[in-house]
Amino acid sequence: MNSSQTLKKIYSSQDPINLKNFQAQVLVVQKGASSQTLVKLLEKAHATKILNFLKQRKFKFKSSAHLTFDLSSSTKFSILVIPQKLTPFSSLELSREVLSSLKTEKSTSVLIHLAPMDSSLETLLTDSFVSAAIALNYLPPKYATPSKKEKSKIDPQLTISFKLSHSRFARVQKLGFAAEASAHKTNLVRHLAQRAGNDLTPEVYVKTASDLAKKAGLKTEFFSLAELIKLKAGAFLAVAQGAPENTSGILKLSYYPKQGKRKIALVGKGITFDTGGNNLKTGSHMFGMNNDMAGSAVVLALCLLAAEEQWPIQITGYMAITENILSAKAYRPNDVITSLKGKTIEVIDTDAEGRMVLADTLTLASREKPDLVIDFATLTGSVIRALGTQYCGGYSNRKQLLSVIRKAGILSGERVWAFPNDSDYGRCLKSDIADIKQCRLTGGVDHIEAAYFLSQFIEKGVDWIHIDLGAMDPEEPLAHIPKKPSGFGVRFGKELIHLTK
């Protein structure tokens, strides 16, 4: 995975800068700024040239605008006039648009001049430009046989540097490093979600995640199928029994800082490929199901981020890793399964496998009595029909957490819409032969009903949040992400964890 250094340097106004090292410059000012800002921030020769250009265009700083032009034959210049108020989402989107217009087929180095502005805006823009630049540098896995020319070719990279007043240097530097860490973890999710299903098999995925975790200093524990049989985790085992290899299981990652008292458990759906099982998907719906493990990749990324940034919180991650494959051994509709919690489940649709593996994994996680359990899963198509691919769905067994979910989405720029989880949504899941139906046969609001189903497998007294990742494969650019998959969940998850104190 590409993880080169995108944030090159942060310059204070006192540092000498060789402008020949930059193929592009961006001046960011607030709406209503004076044109004299140019004179203060830029070299005199550049400032005079730009002021003359703006005078010819009758350009003023009275309204929000983005203008890009050639400063010389080798240097582009962008002026970005931002409004007095900017949301995290719009800031990320704006940063992607600006940097996209400057990125070329060759490596491009950009110098961003941050004019004096409100500290809240400065925070947003620093985070947004770093995050957008790293997202634009993302390279998907390559499986094509390279030609001799391609072997010697270096993929073009975008690097950014900031220049600002000396008094703001330390603050912006800290913000930049934090944004860089989160953005690389988002790219990790994107990369894992694009690995081919015959490449990232359950066995390979467990090893890949374990190696990354150990390198970061995390403790790992793997619940193999043999151990899950002993635990009587029947819901997970029902899905896993169809897989051709006995390499499935639940990978547990633990980060226990000395000063951390709060306990957060993260749970992620890790279906490395989903055919739908006996309820076989059609071709158009099956294509892309190698990314059905994205929720578990978010859990991995957040655990790695917690260790890297030394969060004062105990984080435990549970990655439910298997395949949902059509085979002679695959579970069937009308099967009755006994879950880890002891509840019996009437199977209705084998393509609703995500809630099966999550049911047992949520029970396993909540038995540790954490302060909060958060699960991430590409769970239902119903949430996409409800929201499109611009938002994810959020659910909880505590109504007071719904506003926190919404706030975390706004602050992170990864937007989440909170749905109800009232008990009457569970009426359709009453079974004549088991404790609960897996889902209904047709109709309904499956995204809400799936959340209700999952809530029945949380141990009593444990707070729980479920995120249905409908925005993992956005149809168009989403915030700072130019192409799917979005890696949605890392920014949101970090914000949510720190909000739920």
Domain co-membership, 119 together with 229: no
Which of the two residues, 19 and 463, has the higher pLDDT score? 463
Domain co-membership, 64 together with 105: yes
Domain co-membership, 314 together with 169: no
Domain co-membership, 332 together with 258: yes
Among residues 276, 194, 208, 280, the alpha carbon closest in space to that of 247 is found at: 208
β-bridge mates for residue 416, sequence order:
392
Task: Note the pLDDT tens digit of each residue in 43-86.
Answer: 777 888 888 888 888 888 888 889 888 888 888 999 999 998 89
Tally of structural domains, the chain: 2
Q: Give the CATH number, domain containing residue 164.
A: 3.40.220
Query: Of 183, 205, 231, at which residue does a domain stop?
Result: 183
Beta strands in 121-185 (DSSP E): 158-164
b vs e for 24-62, b when ≥16 Cβ sit within 10 Å of the residue's Cβ? bbbbbbbeebeeebbeebbeeebbebbbebbeeeebebe
What are the residues whose beta carbons fall under 8 Å from the beta carbon of 355, sequence distance 6 or more?
379, 438, 439, 450, 453, 454
Q: What's residue 4's pLDDT?
A: 62
Domain co-membership, 32 together with 168: yes
> What is the average pLDDT across 313-341?
97
* 282 domain residue, yes or no: yes
281, 367, 406, 407: the active-site residue? 281
262 given a catalytic annotation: no
Q: Are 81 and 66 in contact (CB under 8 A)?
A: yes
CA 451 from chain centre, in angstroms, equals 20
Does residue 256 register a pLDDT over 90? yes
Does residue 379 register a pLDDT over 80? yes
Q: Are 293 and 271 in contact (CB under 8 A)?
A: yes
Domain co-membership, 161 together with 256: no
Rounded Cα gap, residues 305 and 317, in angstroms: 12
185, 355, 437, 491: the active-site residue? 355
Does residue 1 register a pLDDT over 70? no
Q: Using DSSP, state whether 122 is helix, strand or coil.
A: helix
Domain co-membership, 135 together with 266: no
Q: Using DSSP, state whether 147 is helix, strand or coil.
A: coil
148 given a catalytic annotation: no
Does residue 401 register a pLDDT over 90? yes
Query: Of 183, 212, 241, at which residue does a domain stop?
Result: 183
Domain co-membership, 18 together with 63: yes
Task: Note the pLDDT tens digit of each residue in 437-457.
Answer: 999 999 999 999 999 999 999
Can you give the pTM of this predicted structure? 0.96
Rounded Cα gap, residues 383 and 446, in angstroms: 8
Q: What's residue 55's pLDDT?
A: 85
Domain co-membership, 156 together with 199: no
Residue 2's pLDDT band (boundaries 50, 70, 90)? low
Q: Give the CATH number, domain containing residue 428.
A: 3.40.630.10
* 358 domain residue, yes or no: yes
Domain hosting residue 461, numbered range = 195-499
Domain co-membership, 149 together with 214: no
Instruction: Supply the mean pLDDT for the chain.
Output: 94
* 169 domain residue, yes or no: yes
Domain co-membership, 217 together with 238: yes
C-beta atoms surrounding 143 within 10 Å: 8
